[in-house]
Amino acid sequence: MNRDVALVLIKNVLTDVVPGADTAAVSQDENFRDRLEMDSLDFLNFIEALSERTGLALPETDYPALNTLDGCADYVASRSSVE
């Protein structure tokens, strides 16, 4: 999966987890958890949904890399080409 496809997928997962989320208002290097007012349960639901949609294992140690759209897109794109 390339980075652009990953970014679209991530935005779709975010809107599934946080209904009404305006992902267009989130800059790619901004912490989307803060911007979308996600609590820890919302973030875990996001991680679970992202894992299901991509087929990737997302270990807790990698969560810090998954707080921005850029970080998520880079992570998913780099892992999906390997796995």
**Each residue's pLDDT tens digit, 52-76:** 999 999 999 999 999 999 999 999 9
Whats the size of the chain, residue-wise? Answer: 83
- pLDDT surpassing 90 at residue 82: no
Domain total for the chain? Answer: 1
Q: How confident is the model at residue 10 (pLDDT cuts 50, 70, 90)?
A: very high
Residue-number span of the structural domain to which 17 is assigned? 3-82
User: Tens digit of pLDDT for each residue in 13-53?
Assistant: 999 999 999 999 999 999 999 999 999 999 999 999 999 99
The whole-angstrom separation of Cα 20 and Cα 15 is 6
- Indicate which CATH number applies to the domain containing 27: 1.10.1200.10
Mean pLDDT of 4-18: 96
CA angle 36, 12, 82 (to 5 degrees): 110
